[in-house]
């Protein structure tokens, strides 16, 4: 007794595209990165709009930590930052705690850059 399988659409296997072959528009790429941040902080998709400003701050910070802003590098940078900072104070959400640090780090960088412009030569 032999069994034959017909080539029907259900039986055909599609080849998976590599990341280089997949074309992602800018808006969907931004959404992918926002979802990566939401995944790190265990946010529901409906909470993303509530924490949009904090997500943007964290994305800016994470992009400064790696050469290529991919989903994996964003998640790695944020998890690494969380490990450095430790647990937030009692009753404070993790995203608020980490976003505040990222905001302060950005401000510190901007202030240092401006102060360095006043001193042309370091001795």
Higher-confidence position of 100 and 91: 100
pTM of full prediction above 0.85: no
pLDDT tens-place string over residues 19-28:
444 444 556 7
Q: How many CB atoms lie within 10 A of CB 105?
A: 15
Work out the angle between the directed axes of helices 71-85 and 94-118 (0-180°, nearest 10).
90
pLDDT value of position 65: 87
Instruction: Tell me what the mean pLDDT of segment 92-103 comes to.
Output: 93
pLDDT tens-place string over residues 43-86:
888 888 899 999 999 999 998 888 877 888 888 999 999 999 98
Cα–Cα nearest to 72, from 42, 33, 18? 33
| Helices of type H across the chain | 26-40, 52-65, 71-85, 94-118
């Amino acid at each position: 007794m032999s069994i034959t399988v017909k080539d029907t659409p259900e039986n055909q296997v599609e080849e998976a595209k590599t990341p280089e072959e997949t074309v992602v528009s800018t808006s969907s790429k931004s959404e992918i990165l926002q979802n990566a941040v939401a995944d790190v902080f265990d946010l529901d998709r409906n909470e993303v709009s509530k924490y949009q400003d904090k997500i943007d701050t964290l994305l800016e910070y994470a992009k400064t930590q790696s050469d290529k802003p991919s989903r994996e590098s964003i998640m790695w940078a944020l998890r690494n930052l969380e490990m450095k900072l430790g647990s937030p104070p009692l009753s404070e959400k993790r995203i608020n705690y980490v976003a505040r640090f990222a905001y302060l780090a950005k401000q510190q960088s901007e202030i240092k850059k401006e102060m360095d412009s006043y001193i042309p030569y370091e001795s």
